């Protein structure tokens, strides 16, 4: 860890850092395991090039997910002041991962259902945040169809078109989809407390091998979008979904809506990585045109 980063963290914590070890695997930020002077193990993320609000939003999101006490979420220990000059960082409770418990899938189904059943006030959130490094609009809406169109699909589509990631003709294709959105999303449902970036890389275990969620992109939304993303990037298996359905049954037609809700993470990946994700969006979009 760079000395100026460590000094800044120590100043905010009011305590020295006894040791640090660089971790591998993070694609956006530098990650470290560390021990504080009082012996506590912690997890530290830092990124000299990121938007200063990223870590603030992540800290707020973790606290928001932890409110219903439905599933293990790491506790925020410290976060840099977004209004100050860098370096910026996030310090979390260290949760050592163990091998998944024998009933991990069932636990995840039950705990995610409990999290989703903790109903926020609206579709959206009081503040905008990020999914990976991309800004995510959370302007509150009463209608899920309106929110999904104007705050999720439209901004990512416009970004992809503006950056020549996709053909401009996509604008017309998506306009046809948007005109049918109210019909496609199914019967009205209360907003759910969403993780927002639920894929296998953000699904860890705690010291007992139970589910633990990290790196959220939270908001109030339709719960099927969390499930659709997990299905797209790391489906945990049939026991997960059957347990989820026992605890919080999905509305009729949920299977037909999976691809609809995978459009958002696919568009995000188009903007982050391009490549074959462009073709994935095209194939998914064809199902609704």
Q: Any idea what the CATH number is for the domain that residue 168 is in? A: 3.90.1200.10
Number of domains in the chain: 2
d(C-alpha 89, C-alpha 40), whole Å: 18
From 197, 215, 226, 235, the catalytic residue: 197
Q: Which candidate, 287, 146, 139, 283, places its Cα nearest to that of 222?
A: 146
Based on the domain organization, do 111 and 81 belong to the same domain?
A: no
Based on the domain organization, do 42 and 123 belong to the same domain?
A: no
Of residues 119 and 109, which shows the higher confidence score?
A: 109
Query: What does the pLDDT read at residue 24?
Result: 82
Query: For residue 85, is pLDDT > 90?
Result: no
For the stretch 230-250, pLDDT in tens is: 999 987 888 999 999 999 999
Based on the domain organization, do 175 and 53 belong to the same domain?
A: no
Instruction: Label residue 26 by pLDDT band (50, 70, 90).
Output: low
Domain boundary among 39, 65, 93: 93
Based on the domain organization, do 108 and 89 belong to the same domain?
A: no
Catalytic residue list contains 197: yes
Q: Is residue 99 part of a domain?
A: no
Q: What is the mean pLDDT of residues 57-61?
A: 98
Based on the domain organization, do 196 and 123 belong to the same domain?
A: yes
Query: What does the pLDDT read at residue 48?
Result: 82
Range of the domain at 20: 3-93
Based on the domain organization, do 233 and 124 belong to the same domain?
A: yes
d(C-alpha 100, C-alpha 90), whole Å: 26
Based on the domain organization, do 152 and 74 belong to the same domain?
A: no
Rounded to the nearest integer, the mean pLDDT of the chain is 95
Q: Contact, 50 vs 88, CB < 8 A?
A: yes
Whole-Å CA distances, 198 to 82, 92, 142, 214, 233:
25, 19, 23, 9, 8
Based on the domain organization, do 30 and 131 belong to the same domain?
A: no
Based on the domain organization, do 132 and 254 belong to the same domain?
A: yes
Q: Is residue 242 part of a domain?
A: yes
Task: Give the number of residues written for the chain.
Answer: 289
Query: What does the pLDDT read at residue 203?
Result: 95
Based on the domain organization, do 119 and 260 belong to the same domain?
A: yes
């Amino acid at each position: 860890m760079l000395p100026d980063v460590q000094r800044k963290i120590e100043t905010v914590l009011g305590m020295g850092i006894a040791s640090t070890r660089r971790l591998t695997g993070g694609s956006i930020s530098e990650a470290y395991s560390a021990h504080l002077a009082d012996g506590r193990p912690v997890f530290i993320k830092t990124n000299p090039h990121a938007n200063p609000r990223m870590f603030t939003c992540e800290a707020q999101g973790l606290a928001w997910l932890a409110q219903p006490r439905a599933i293990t979420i790491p506790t925020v220990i410290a976060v840099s002041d977004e209004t100050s000059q860098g370096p910026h960082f996030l310090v979390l409770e260290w949760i050592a991962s163990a091998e998944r418990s024998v009933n991990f899938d069932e636990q995840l189904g039950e705990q995610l259902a409990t999290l989703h059943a903790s109903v926020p006030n609206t579709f959206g959130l009081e503040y905008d945040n990020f999914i990976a490094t991309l800004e995510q609009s959370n302007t509150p809406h009463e209608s899920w169809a309106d929110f999904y169109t104007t705050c999720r699909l439209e901004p990512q589509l416009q970004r992809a078109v503006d950056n020549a990631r996709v053909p401009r003709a996509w604008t017309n294709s998506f306009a046809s989809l948007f005109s049918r959105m109210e019909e496609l999303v199914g019967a009205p449902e209360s907003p759910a407390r969403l993780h927002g970036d639920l894929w296998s890389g953000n699904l860890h275990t705690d010291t007992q091998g139970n589910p633990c969620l990290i790196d959220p992109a939270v908001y109030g939304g339709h719960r099927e979008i969390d499930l659709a993303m997990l299905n797209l990037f790391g489906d945990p298996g049939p026991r997960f979904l059957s347990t989820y359905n026992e605890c919080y049954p999905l509305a009729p037609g949920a299977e037909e809506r999976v691809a609809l809700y995978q459009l958002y993470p696919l568009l995000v990946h188009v903007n982050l990585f391009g490549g074959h994700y462009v073709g994935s969006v095209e194939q998914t979009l064809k199902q609704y045109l």
